[in-house]
Amino acid sequence: MFQFNPSKGMLALAAMNLITGTTANLKTCASSSGFSCQSSSTTPTCCFNYPGGAFLQTQFWDTDPVTGPSNSWTIHGLWPDNCDGTYEANCDSSRAYTNITEILQAQDRSDLVSYMDKYWVDINGDNESFWEHEWGKHGTCINTIEPSCYTGYESQEEVGDYFQKTVDLFKGLDTYKALAAAGITPSNSKTYTAGAIKAALAKVHDGAEVYISCSSGKLNQVWYFFNVQGNIIDGKYEAVDSLTSSACSKSGIKYVPKN
Ligand SMILES: *[C@@H]1O[C@H](CO)[C@@H](O)[C@H](O)[C@H]1NC(C)=O
Ligand SMILES: *[C@@H]1O[C@H](CO)[C@@H](O)[C@H](O)[C@H]1NC(C)=O
């Protein structure tokens, strides 16, 4: 048990965080702060995402080569979008870290790293590089997790928050299960229509349209769009329609097995 001892203050605080499940130390946002992309405000603040106000949780179905479990899609990333299909990229080279695994481990997030090694995998087997790319290109553009938005900021705290949040969103968007529930399962012979795929995915996205993309007629990506009230870690997510036209033909879409 912890006994009161000023020198152990940090330890006691860390223990409290574990108990309450609190991970983010971002400044609190008023529940009245507006949803991103739904307000005329053009001022980025720690509680208002701007200009990147739409957030895309993007996923892969990689079959050549195969990545990830055969009964699950894998994570591509969490990307801010300027509410119109355009986006900013590589926003802060000073925070484009090349030690993501070490950062997460130093934050006691080894379980997160294990999960990412299974579900956030690189097509060439270089997961660390893929995570560096996603963080540097997209994560550094999210204004509500800039270091100045934290109380008692600890170095690279926002990096851990970004990866954890992306994983949490992914866990709530089980594309494999959503498709299977509509009878859309991987097959070497069957084909599916874009309408059926989109209808199945809308069911897990509050009825909002989900972006799908195909390569050589094979379904290989889905993107779920959100607007956010407050910061992207503690804020409220609202499913919204895709801002980008899907890149699959209307019918004859293949969804091939991962083996
Ligand atoms: C990761 O890299 C940054 C920038 O070089 C450095 O400041 C930080 O201490 C490193 N973190 C760990 C846990 O090695
Ligand atoms: C990285 O990704 C591959 C799959 O592409 C996976 O098999 C591997 O375990 C992952 N982790 C490491 C540390 O390479």
Whole-number Å distance, alpha carbon 201 to ligand 1 midpoint, is 39
Q: Is residue 251 part of a domain?
A: no
Range of the domain at 56: 47-240
Maximum Cα–Cα distance across the chain: 67
Task: For the chain, 259 residues long, give each residue's pLDDT as a single digit of tens.
Answer: 344 444 444 444 444 444 444 445 999 998 878 899 999 999 999 999 999 999 999 999 999 999 999 999 999 999 999 999 999 999 999 999 999 999 999 999 999 999 999 999 999 999 999 999 999 999 999 999 999 999 989 999 999 999 999 999 999 999 999 999 999 999 999 999 999 999 999 999 999 999 999 999 999 999 999 999 999 999 999 999 999 999 999 999 999 999 8
Whole-number Å distance, alpha carbon 159 to ligand 2 midpoint, is 20
- Residue ID of nearest Cα to ligand 1 atom 14: 102
Q: Is residue 67 part of a domain?
A: yes
The predicted pLDDT at position 33 comes to: 81
Q: Is residue 20 part of a domain?
A: no
Q: Is residue 27 part of a domain?
A: no
**Rounded CA gap, 204 and 2, in Å?**
43
- Residue ID of nearest Cα to ligand 1 atom 5: 97
75 backbone dihedrals φ, ψ, rounded to 5°: -80, 135
Relative to beta strand 218-229, strand 236-240 is: antiparallel
Looking up tokens 């690279």 gives: 156
Q: Which residues line ligand 2 (CB under 6 A)?
A: 67, 117, 121-122, 125, 127
Measured from the Cα of 105, ligand 1's closest atom is: 13
Whole-number Å distance, alpha carbon 140 to ligand 2 midpoint, is 24
**Residue 202 structure tokens:** 């809308």
* Residue of 98, 103, 104, 153 to mutate, ligand 1, most atoms within 8 A of C-beta: 103
Q: Is residue 54 part of a domain?
A: yes
**Ligand closest to the CA atom of residue 66:** 2
Number of structural domains in the chain: 1
Measured from the Cα of 103, ligand 1's closest atom is: 13
Q: Is residue 85 part of a domain?
A: yes
Q: Provide the annotated active-site residues.
A: 76, 134, 138
Three-state DSSP class for residue 253: strand
The torsion defined by the Cα of 171, 29, 101 and 111, in degrees rounded to 10, comes to: -40
Q: Is residue 132 part of a domain?
A: yes
- Residue ID of nearest Cα to ligand 1 atom 7: 155
Q: Is residue 210 part of a domain?
A: yes
Whole-number Å distance, alpha carbon 40 to ligand 1 midpoint, is 38
CATH of the domain at 120: 3.90.730.10
The predicted pLDDT at position 24 comes to: 56
